[in-house]
Amino acid sequence: MSQRIIGNKIIELKSVDSTNNYAINLLKKQKFNEGTIIYTSKQLSGKGQDNNYWESEQGKNLTISIILYPKFLAAEKQFLLNMIISLSVSDYLKSIIKNHKISIKWPNDIYIDNGKVAGILISNTIQGELFENAIIGIGLNINQLVFSSDAPNPVSLKMITGKNFHIKKCLNNLCIYIEKRYEQLRNGLTDIINYDYLTSLFWHESFQKYKYDNNIITAKITGISEFGKLILITKEKHTIECDLKEITFIIE
């Protein structure tokens, strides 16, 4: 049996501004084994999409970055990496939470029902048409009960289950699911990845309200483009293909 790649080496820090920034600076100095994880219990300036702040109470949550070298993946296929990481976190949550809906809010927020439990931030370095490296940042709310930021709908595993979780056990188990999905990607099982991602999407195939082009529209998600754009169809049968900054989910 081959040795697991994800989490084969863990660099644990007492505190750091951002695990992604730390990993990026590490790789400027030397190359680390693929699957190396940067882990801290105290992240001072965690980042989410569009430079949003990621709140994490010290010692209560999982804040990590993973170093990958997906050189087998063409640069134009990089959204597949986003898909498998989102699916990995979703897979892990489904293994421990049975009576709630786990979904992926496009492109890579993980939801339990209508609450955000995890966020993902991927920093890719591309040379020509191929990957040089990818830094996978994951923030997963585990034992935190009070959130003071203006994030609209944060939840944690403890808030949902009432149970206290061992953070490092959560990390180890999450690594197992990331390993499985990364192996799918390496083996070219893109049909499975695309299907699983699409059918896991928050609001997939149901008409919901969105803000698009400064208007409120009612539409349903029907697909994801090759480059990761969200494809919707309105009730008036108009097809929309949009990037992250072009559309807002209206969650009531």
Over the stretch 25-35, which tens digit does the pLDDT of each residue have? 999 999 899 99
Domain map (residue ranges) of the chain = 10-200, 208-249
CATH architecture assignment, domain 10-200: 2-Layer Sandwich (3.30)
Beta-carbon contacts of 126 under 8 Å, excluding residues fewer than 6 positions away, are 75, 78, 132
pLDDT of the residue at 2: 62
Question: Average pLDDT, whole number, for the chain?
Answer: 93
The share of the chain scoring above pLDDT 70, in percent, equals 95
> Does residue 107 have a cis peptide bond before it, meaning omega lies within 30 degrees of 0?
yes
- If pLDDT is split at 50, 70 and 90, which confidence band does 167 have? very high
Quote the CA–CA distance of 127 and 120 in Å, as a whole number.
23
Can you tell me whether residue 169 is helix, strand or coil?
helix
Question: Of 2.30.30, 3.30.420, 2.60.40, 1.10.8, which CATH number belongs to 208-249?
Answer: 2.30.30
Pairing state between β 10-13 and 37-40: parallel
- Token couple for 161: 């289950």
Task: Render pLDDT for 63-121 as a digit per residue (tens, 0 to 9).
Answer: 999 999 999 999 999 999 999 999 999 999 999 999 999 999 999 999 999 999 999 99
Residue 63, strand partner residues: 40, 139
Residue 109: is it exposed, middle or buried by C-beta count within 10 angstroms (0-12/13-18/19+)?
buried
Residues of the chain above pLDDT 90, percent = 83
Q: Report the pLDDT value the prediction gives residue 52, as an integer from 0 to 100.
A: 57
Other CB atoms within 10 Å distance of the CB of residue 210: 22
